[in-house]
Amino acid sequence: MEPHNLKQRGRQAYGGPETLVVVNDEYDDKSAPGAEFGSYPSRVPGTKGKTYGAYPALAVDARDAICDPTDFAAVSLDAGVEGMLRSRDFVITAVLTLASLVTRLYWIGRRKAVSWDEAHFGKFGAFYVRGQWFHDVHPPLGRMLVALAEYVAGHNGTYEFKSGSAFPDYVNYRFIRMQVSLYGIALVPLAYLTCLQLNMSRTMATLAACFILFDNALCVMSRFILLDEPLLFFTAMTLWSAVSFQRVSKYGRQFSRRWWIWLLMTGVSLGCVMSSKWIGLFSVIMIGIATVDDLFRKFCDRMSWEDLAQHWNARVVSLIFLPLIVYTACFWVHFRLLYRTGAGEHK
């Protein structure tokens, strides 16, 4: 039985693990899916004007596709099995990641004094290291990641990170900054992968990633001990997961393993982003609006009540309960780590 959303759009997909073909009565050769990737579709004799073409950037495994194999001929994909980065995409992603490492890590220790909000978040990390209670307005995940970086760097929690003061010799501030900057470094490859899932060409996806790569504000924030890098990383993960899920939901088999993986990744990312800073709630609103729109479209497409109920249940569990579990778990770890008396206990 064919997925309703594919049937409505007149689009089908078929193939084995290494074969995938897209059928669409609505496009011509120039506007066909895959044309912008250099994989132009071809006319198959005896198909009454239907157009067949490879879909290089499909976010579903060909094994998840459902259709009637008698409707068309199969076209082998040179791009390889979907779900694994093709060689060209791997090279582009690797180059972008290396460039991001350079722009974020080059001379990261040049500023040897506590700068900007390092005075706050570095101090909070030190509180976690020595287990001393404190109060802050933001959720704890971002601060705990800073504390993890300080712990790995060997900080004993005694330095107070006073604004403008020079780091003492026993604080490996370079290594702490390098660990926190990894979240900012990951933004560049995530931007490229997200744009590919949005059906952009490699050229446009690379250009979008370069905007992130050379953005001065992002470069600066990634070079200090701040909460912004984890926040932006989890926001980017949320967007990438949500876009990937939408493509699987649109072109693949509903409730398949890949479908569930991307939906659950979206839920976990949402939990992490709202556990880092309160402004992460805007990501929750964004995903919420997109989810309601998707479910409303399924209702308008006259999907059966049973199937619609299954979709609602999947979204409620994955995008409401799972983020709340992640959020609660972060606070559980927060309270477990801060076991000593400290300032702000009355708040």
Torsion sign across C-alpha atoms 199, 10, 59, 62: negative
Number of Cβ atoms within 10 Å of the Cβ of 53:
22
Q: What is the pLDDT of residues 268-302, one digit of tens each?
A: 999 999 999 999 999 999 999 999 999 999 999 88
pLDDT at 105: 95
Q: pTM to 2 decimals?
A: 0.75
User: Buried (b) or exposed (e) across 7-25, using 16+ Cβ within 10 A?
Assistant: eeeebbbbbeeebbbbbbe
pLDDT at 47: 40
> How does DSSP classify residue 264?
H
Main-chain dihedrals φ then ψ at residue 24, nearest 5 degrees = -150, 120
Among the ranges given (35-39, 100-104, 254-258), the one the predictor scored with the smallest mean pLDDT: 35-39
Token look-up 């992603």 returns 93
Report the alpha-carbon distance of residue 254 to residue 257 in Å, rounded: 9
Contacts of 241 by beta carbon, 8 Å cutoff, 6+ apart: 262, 265, 266, 269
Residue 20's pLDDT band, with cuts at 50, 70 and 90, is very low
Report the alpha-carbon distance of residue 56 to residue 60 in Å, rounded: 10
Report the alpha-carbon distance of residue 208 to residue 187 in Å, rounded: 11
Torsion sign across C-alpha atoms 290, 295, 296, 298: positive
Main-chain dihedrals φ then ψ at residue 265, nearest 5 degrees = -65, -35
Contacts of 206 by beta carbon, 8 Å cutoff, 6+ apart: 92, 96, 192
Closest to 137 measured CA to CA, from 222, 227, 225: 227
pLDDT at 347: 54
> How does DSSP classify residue 32?
S
pLDDT at 177: 97
Mean residue pLDDT of the chain comes to: 80
pLDDT at 342: 73
pLDDT at 273: 97
Residue 52 CA, chain-centre distance (Å), reads 31
Among the ranges given (20-29, 116-125, 235-244), the one the predictor scored with the smallest mean pLDDT: 20-29
